[in-house]
Chains A and B, each alone.
Chain A
């Protein structure tokens, strides 16, 4: 189901685990194919600097899109993708509100 606007929120519950950039990128690609082009990352419980190892690969890979990264903050009421650590790897939950 396509998002209602070009904006999507991606909630990171902590820094993405090492090596998760390809998975997050594939989710960004999927939503971009549905028309999204502004991706707003909300990092919960971690600092931007500490998440850059994997995050920078994502935000520098999609040159057609805009990325905003914030630390914490209220939900934005946008279609939301939640990324959290799981054993093994990461769990990704997609919600279209």
Chain B
């Protein structure tokens, strides 16, 4: 049985970015409405299998099925009967305890526990209770990109009866674990998979059931070597077009008309080093558009945007392929991280390549201009408080954000939190913001709210079906805009200090693990 809590088992109204709301606590709206907007329930079949599930869970599901195991992704609301008899309960998540950005930012800024964490704790607590009472032999295995967070919360390993933590690309390992479980062998408590043991292309299975928002992986790894990112250590692998097509066919067969192609840097698919090449990218986009009416990239680098356009007019050519009758904009996630060439050279020396790090701010601005002209919306991150950051670095980032004002985009600051402090209950005290940081946060808030209102009303949530979501999100953004209008950097600093105090006070109480006994009884009664 493979599952995850509702915040990840949802199509987010077929809008990937709406899913980001689950990384914050419910504000302005009550949690029920917040969840309905950000993570509505997904359709399930008679056996509790969701019509759409996270891509990572689908990969694990198919790896086990191909090896002959009876394995399936199960919706969190349908776990009851399975928990009492399953041999193994596998959970995959990309931010178990809300330690990753942006969850950690919202947690710190509001002083309230993000909804993804609340839901995960509730989900794990419910499963552990059933295991404790009826199925003590069931093995609980946790994995996914944020599996490392369990090492920082050993109390939850105990509380939720977790047997094994798996870090890394697990398609091969999960089969060995499943064999060990069925053979009654003792499981390791922790396994991490070295980059050189990552599955080769031919060892990566293709999904057999539909993924959330039609996500299909086109590449693994990244050649840019940024110091704050571990994806860069994995071997670079291009998924061949025939494998991509198999997955597109599965998703299209499930009725998906709009999907995301996933890579750390989509424009490097088939690239010559870090120089994008037209032929593979055009073939890829032509293939995707044969199956999906609308498409988006998960991530791309801003340097690749500039190189693609300067060298081959490729952004123009690709946008002509993507946009048309069924789609009038697209978007992706990207990293600016800093506006300081000095800091860029120190922590992400190849981020600007093939251009020198000294030109990084100009590359960012040029990329934003290119994207704006082609109706492609970047959602960009900044990292605040990187090791070695000076006040001058922050000023350069502020100057860059100022220059990005005319371009349709989202810009979100993220706090650098050293991993070592996450084991401390008062980890949030390690985030010490200056007035310049607060000014930067205020600029990005105003920038993002202004453009989010434009994006929602112009492109993102059009149509009668999405009218209630559009109304609620517009209402929410209106409130945030009003709040941001009167805000000063000093007020931000005061607000964050107050939030830290609230967090400290809540930590002093019992951990906020919810034990919904009434719900648990209901689940068990139905099972």
Contact = CB atoms under 8 A, between A and B. Distances in A.
Interface of A: 37-38, 48-50, 52-53, 56-57, 59-60, 63-73
Contacts of B155: 49
Contact of B193 (A53, A59, A66, A73): A66
A70 B148 CA distance: 17
B191 A65 contact: no
A60 B233 contact: no
A53 B233 CA distance: 25
A59 B186 contact: no
A66 B192 contact: yes
Contacts of B192: 59, 65-68
Contacts of A69: 188-191
Nearest to B187: A70
A56 B158 CA distance: 16
A3 B157 CA distance: 34
Contacts of B148: 60
A38 B419 CA distance: 23
Contacts of B387: none
17 contacts: A37-B196, A38-B194, A48-B189, A52-B154, A56-B152, A57-B420, A59-B151, A60-B419, A64-B194, A65-B192, A66-B192, A67-B191, A68-B191, A69-B189, A70-B188, A71-B189, A73-B186
B195 A64 contact: yes
Nearest to A41: B190
A70 B157 CA distance: 15
Nearest to A67: B192
Contact of B151 (A38, A60, A63): A60
B230 interface: yes
Contacts of A64: 194-196, 233
Interface of B: 148, 151-152, 154-155, 157-158, 168, 186, 188-197, 230, 233, 419-420, 423
A59 B157 contact: no
A49 B191 contact: no
A65 B233 CA distance: 11
Given A56-B152, A59-B151, A68-B188, A49 B195 contact: no
Contact of A65 (B152, B158, B194, B419): B194
Nearest to B197: A66
Given A56-B152, A63-B230, A66-B168, A48 B194 contact: no
Given A60-B148, A63-B230, A64-B195, A49 B154 contact: yes
A48 B190 contact: yes
Contacts of B188: 68-70
A65 B423 CA distance: 23
Nearest to B158: A49
Q: Which 7 A-B pairs have the closest CB atoms?
A: A66-B194, A48-B189, A69-B190, A49-B154, A56-B151, A70-B188, A68-B188
A39 to B, nearest CB: 9
Nearest to A42: B188
A70 B186 CA distance: 8
A90 B148 CA distance: 27
A66 B170 CA distance: 12
